[in-house]
Structure 1
Amino acid sequence: MDRVRRGRVATSLIFLLFGAALGVWTARIPAVKEGLGLSDGRLSVALLAFAAGCIAGMVLVGRLTDRFGSSRVLIPAALLEGVLLIPPGLSDGLVTLSVALFVFGTVHGTLNIAMNANAAEVERERGRPIMSSFHAIYSIGGFLGAILGSVFAHAGVSVAVTLISVGLTAVMLAAAASAWVLRSSPPPGDEREPVGTELVGTEPGGGGPGGTRRDSAGRGSARPGGRRMLLVFYGIVVVCTLVGEGAAADWSAVHLRDERGTSEGAAAYGYAAFAIMMTLGRFVGDRAAGRFGPVAVIRASGLLAAAGLGAGLVLAHPVAVIAGWGLFGLGLSCVAPQFFTAAAGVDPRRAGQALSTVVSIGYLGFLLGPIAIGAVATVVGLTTALWIPVVLAIFVAASARSIRPSRAA
């Protein structure tokens, strides 16, 4: 097995443990709440501490990744992900829980950037789109973590034992991955082209003498201000995507139960359909991007997401709504990975900072989107409020040209 294939396996393991750690923690939140006697409001303070830690890690780690290389940040962060998953399960009150979650969140956010930067390096070395497959493995990790947490809960295993078991397993996965992680990163001045960029010379697709390096939106990468604005725009598109993911996670079951009259068990099928179709979509997204190009994939993805959820809201039947959430997940599945690849390709020498910008901006959509939908729902009703992610999906489709590879006339 060559070094790039080994690197892909290692980075996949990191994505798997990243998803599993978050999944198992999420599954045990109700037990933590009950065990510490926290009200909804006090629990939200602790969860906000985790979110603040994630943002801090994502914002601060970009320069470290670019200066030392993604692998030198990736492995320590992955090891700490497993270690720091444990303290929240040992907390004895709101203060200690909040501190533990903030520290865990900081490492979680750091690992988020480092693993995506390393995935972009593997993709660049591989020479074809593979970013979506990494995110599919993250989705599987989240599913496995949630299932494992649920199994432990039903077996009466304490939160502490659950998190210790999964945390130590994550440490072992990180240690195993460390031997194969791809350690090559483009040094300053490296002339290799990232996926989604090309040299533009006097011939279409060519890079003759005097050609100008273009980023994936066709803008000259020598303009720092232009690069920064492009990355902010990519972040805004990811915000639109993660508003949809947050809406599915927080509101799909509520909508099915309260607005469509399903049972609590049936209400869970909406998010299940969304998550399953998102995972499947990510497994086929790389092949679709390689065959049709990222512009066509993003455009079709946004339109499919909008049409799927929109049809479910209009038709109103519970089965249609569940199918709509499934199509919505399929449509959104490949959008963020494509924009992460595009961000890393704007300037490969500063891929960490680029991803830090895009991911940290995008994460706000996951945090604030469901809150905004809930606020709007109090005024106009939840069904009407859920048209917000439909409209944002249309915007995603319209943004597809922003990552079109430029060709000279």
Structure 2
Amino acid sequence: MPPRPDHLPLARIAIYLTFFVCGFILAAWVSRIPAIKQSLGLNTGELGLVLLGAPVGLVLAMPLTGWLIAHWGSRPVLTFASLSNCFSLPLLALAPSGWTLALALFVFGFTNAAMDISMNAQAVETEKRYARPIMSSFHALFSLGGLVGAALGGAAAAAGMEPLPFFTWMTAVSVLLMLWAIRYLIQVRPAPSGPRFVWPRGVLLGLGLIVFCTGLGEGAVADWSAVFMKQVVGSSEAVAALAFSAFSVAMVLGRLTGDALTHRFGPVALARGGGLFAAAGFVTTLLATRPEVAMLGFVMIGLGYCTLFPLAFSAAGRVPGVEPGVALASVATLGYLGFLVGPPVIGLIAHATSLRVSFALVAGLAVVIALLAELLRPRTG
């Protein structure tokens, strides 16, 4: 049975915590990659191959998670996936070799993707019951969890704490938060019939292209902003490292205000403006000759991208005739594909031409987002 109306605020808080934990756990791992690379004696090429374990698990988890949500509902899937993701974190520090780390990363990526899809399905259902835009605030908590996890990881590294005890503490905190949160998740009845997985087509394909372009752009900033600042703008290494931090803070602040902006202007206008603003941010960065101007460009990019994932996921969860979990898995697969393939493709293009050309192409994809924004118009069926 669905929870009583007075339980809805608790369900919303529970899903906030779930988004926070998802970003928290992911950032904990990313922040300690250098330490684990050193402890296993991996060179850069070997590490690149090992890191493929996570995206392979992620891509395989997407369609399966959509099928499980349609069959069992998002609450049990999220319960299992979230706890599994928390407990898989210490495995990354226990791996004795590169190939065992790749296997552990497969499990970590698989459970993280399952958690991501099922928590977004819960968020879509909660937004429907509130009957007003609240999706952006959930994604703000994911970004906030990432910032907190990364900050704690940096502090642990500075203090000389080994990855295993750090991961153990992060797991303990995350499990405690999730044990409270899963008590208040919304119970959604599984679909009695219908497809358990759909290839993106029609509206879903368009929404998938929006999240693909967004994911590619976010991946470009995550992996190449510091390099761009140092090599192209000529900033110091310390200042270059602040570029992604400025982008991330802009993402958090933008998502905290995203729901109010969606309510005021509507999803179509907000996505169109976001795509164009992100493109303007890339242009500002490309034309910059001073680090502070380039930093402003990365802030603009973060403010432009911040609401696009929430808007697209919210729209996918409301596509008529397709179960929300199935639709989210279909769209998210393209989004994560963009995030994963974007950085290496940008590197290849930069090697053949220049990093400025690569960033200019990403700016063009941000304009494509603006052109596809009409697909976010609410539909009924």
Instruction: Please classify the TM superposition score into its range, dividing by the shorter chain length.
Output: over 0.9
Q: Which residue of 1 aligns with 2:92?
A: 88
Question: Alpha-carbon deviations, 1:118-155, whole Å to 9, x = none?
Answer: 11011111111111111100000011111111111111
1:168 aligns with 2:172: yes
Q: Which residue of 2 aligns with 1:266?
A: 239
Q: Which residue of 2 aligns with 1:152?
A: 156
Larger of the two Rg values belongs to structure: 1
Gaps of 5+ in 1: 190-223
Contact 2:320 2:379 (C-alpha < 8 Å) held by counterparts = no
Alignment of structure 1 residues 33-182 onto 2, 5 Å: 33-182=37-186
**2: distance between equivalents of 1:225 and 1:95?**
33
**2: distance between equivalents of 1:348 and 1:286?**
26
% of aligned pairs identical?
A: 39
**2: distance between equivalents of 1:406 and 1:32?**
47
**2: distance between equivalents of 1:271 and 1:91?**
29
Task: Identify the match of residue 389 of structure 1 among 348, 362, 380.
Answer: 362
1:26: how far off? 0.3
1:339: how far off? 0.5
Task: Identify the match of residue 227 of structure 2 among 238, 254, 269.
Answer: 254
| TM-score calculated relative to the size of structure 1 | 0.88
Alignment of structure 1 residues 7-406 onto 2, 5 Å: 7-185=11-189, 228-347=201-320, 350-405=323-378
**2: distance between equivalents of 1:163 and 1:269?**
25
**2: distance between equivalents of 1:283 and 1:23?**
20
Extract structure 1 runs of 4+ deviating beyond 4 A: 185-189, 224-227
Gaps of 5+ in 2: none
Q: Which amino acid aligns with 1:76?
A: F
**2: distance between equivalents of 1:187 and 1:239?**
27
**2: distance between equivalents of 1:55 and 1:267?**
31
Aligned length: 376
Question: Alpha-carbon deviations, 1:264-321, whole Å to 9, x = none?
Answer: 0011121111111111111111111111110010011111111122122123322111
**1: distance between equivalents of 2:298 and 2:200?**
35
1:188: how far off? 5.3
Contact 2:316 2:327 (C-alpha < 8 Å) held by counterparts = yes
Contact 1:82 1:170 (C-alpha < 8 Å) held by counterparts = yes
Q: Secondary structure at the match of 1:125?
A: helix
**1: distance between equivalents of 2:35 and 2:372?**
42
Contact 1:344 1:351 (C-alpha < 8 Å) held by counterparts = yes
Q: Secondary structure at the match of 1:405?
A: coil
Q: Secondary structure at the match of 2:235?
A: coil
Contact 1:36 1:93 (C-alpha < 8 Å) held by counterparts = yes
Change (3 A) 1:300 1:186: farther
Q: Which amino acid aligns with 1:88?
A: L
Change (3 A) 1:348 1:158: farther
**2: distance between equivalents of 1:164 and 1:348?**
43
Q: Which amino acid aligns with 1:264?
A: E
**1: distance between equivalents of 2:360 and 2:306?**
19
**1: distance between equivalents of 2:199 and 2:88?**
38
1:261: how far off? 1.1
